[in-house]
Amino acid sequence: MTAPASPFLTALDGPAPEVSITKDLIRRGLIATPILVAICGSIWGLNGVYSALFAIALVLLNFALSAAIVATTARISLGIMMGAVLFGYLIRLGLILVAVLLVKDASWISRPALGTAIIVTHLGLLAWELKYLAISLAHPGLKPSRPTR
């Protein structure tokens, strides 16, 4: 009789739902970009526009990096994936901090616009994406699309 495999040593094969979710999230982020840029531009002027564009790019890159970490490490083992998700989160937060610290004193940055855009983009996209997720084991990831008639 063989011992069951440890769940921490098991690798996941098959499609990675986090990649399709992130692609959809980035697509929605690009749809929302003109609206957020227009709002920041109307409040903080041209510096608000540049700050919002920088913040949105930073957030979308953060989401893409997150999906890449999960998709890559899940194929190795679940234990490595758990560690990569934890430390990847800390590293991604650090990257956002470094990016903000590098531009905080630039002449084209509006700090209130940058901070607002980072927060609104993160939370807004996550809330918007919830509507399109199938949170079940039958269809992990995005909800199956309805057939057109």
| pLDDT (tens digit per residue) in 80-107 | 889 999 999 999 999 999 999 999 999 9
- 113, two tokens: 């616009």
Q: How far apart are CA 96 and CA 125, in angstroms?
A: 17
How does residue 132 score in pLDDT terms, banded at 50, 70 and 90?
A: confident
pTM for the structure as a whole: 0.83
141: left (phi over 0), alpha (psi -120 to 50) or beta: left
Tally of residues, the chain? 149
